[in-house]
Structure 1
Amino acid sequence: MSIDSGFSCSCCGRDHDELPLSYHMPAPAYWTPEMADASDSVLSSDQCVIEGEHFFVHSLIEIPIIDTAETFTWGVWVSLSRDSFARMSQLWETPGRESEPPYFGWLSSDLPTYEPTTLNLKTNLHTRPVGLRPAVELEPTGHPLAVEQRTGITRARVQELAELLLHPGHQK
């Protein structure tokens, strides 16, 4: 089954040309706009430091789409210890960094549509080759997001997510 085709949206009634396969959280859940002016806080597209004490990396949760070769991706933020963040930063542009053991972290993105919250799920963060975001491996619990990562999701679930995210607040 190909996922290249668009979809007919049950929320707005329009035909969308593409079914989005990726959504990214712009910052960790703990970031506030006021922090942008603080000297001890920084947010880039890849890393975040809050008050010089909390360290985050923009990473990917990849979920296989059943009966396709496609993957659905959540761009999320994972908190790391000071030492792990320093090590990952030290190797950020180093070829071969993917041979590093995974870093323990906490999911720091509250993804919409999941109950209970996705905040603070345990993760292992796997560094990949230079130029690729780290991959998040969720602790294998019964949380719906962890189950989806392990078992995959259907195209119908991808469309459901698209409709909910493209039309927040819309009730079916």
Structure 2
Amino acid sequence: MHDSPGYTCGTCGARHEDPPLSYRTHAPVYWSDEVAAADGSELTADLCVIQGEHFFVQGSIDIPLRDADGAFSWGVWVSLSAANFGRTVELWDRPGRESEPPYFGWLSTELPVYGRSTLELKTHVHTQPVGRKPLVEVEPTDHPLAVAQRTGMTMADVRRIAERLLHPETPRRTGEGAPHRSGG
């Protein structure tokens, strides 16, 4: 019995703190040192432009927790059309921007824990009040990420994600795959 919070890692056997309930990526998957050096490319904590032609916003995919309060959150990048990106920038500091209809976008972050690529999943980007990142809704499909966003996940799923991200080079055990749903 352990008195400290945390869990025993199924990959390395060590005791880890409680797993984080959110992860964010620095840039869209298409960003590189070469792209950064190109004319018309810019990356901030919230917005990205690649060579003046490709436009991205960072948002959150929230997944409800079924056996705990709150949600698990992926900080992801989503591509937007030039028009929708322009509108996003225009409204960036404007109160009431959350009344804007959602924008269509393509998921531009690879989340390595779902057993299938998450790149180019269709999304809807919901603008939030000033100071909050947009909420990203994955189009309802049979993709494990879309299913998780609709049906939720457990803290055991959160621990599996943490183990996978803490130990990316460790081969998965036989039968281990994407985070899975348990009961209910």
TM range (shorter): over 0.9
The corresponding residue for 1:26 is 26
How many residues align structurally?
Answer: 168
Q: Deviations over 1:99-128 (max 9, x none)?
A: 100001110111112232111111100000
Q: Partners in 1 of 2:18 and 2:33 — Cα distance? A: 32
Q: Partners in 2 of 1:6 and 1:127 — Cα distance? A: 34
Q: Which amino acid aligns with 1:31?
A: W
The corresponding residue for 2:181 is none
Q: Deviations over 1:123-166 (max 9, x none)?
A: 10000011110000111111100000000011111100000001
The corresponding residue for 1:78 is 78
The corresponding residue for 1:162 is 162
Q: Which amino acid aligns with 2:132?
A: L
Q: Partners in 2 of 1:61 and 1:22 — Cα distance? A: 10
Q: Which amino acid aligns with 1:33?
A: D
Q: Which amino acid aligns with 1:150?
A: R
Q: Deviations over 1:44-103 (max 9, x none)?
A: 110000010000001100001112212111000000000000001100011111010000
Question: TM-score, length-normalised on structure 2?
Answer: 0.88
Q: Partners in 2 of 1:115 and 1:53 — Cα distance? A: 30
Please tell me the root mean square deviation across aligned C-alpha atoms, in Å: 1.0
Q: Partners in 1 of 2:8 and 2:125 — Cα distance? A: 36
The CA deviation at 1:36 is 1.8
Question: TM-score, length-normalised on structure 1?
Answer: 0.94
- Residue 37 (structure 1) aligned with residue 40 (structure 2): no
User: What runs of 5+ residues in structure 1 fail to find an aligned partner?
Assistant: none
Q: Partners in 1 of 2:113 and 2:13 — Cα distance? A: 21
- Residue 60 (structure 1) aligned with residue 64 (structure 2): no
Q: Partners in 2 of 1:7 and 1:61 — Cα distance? A: 25
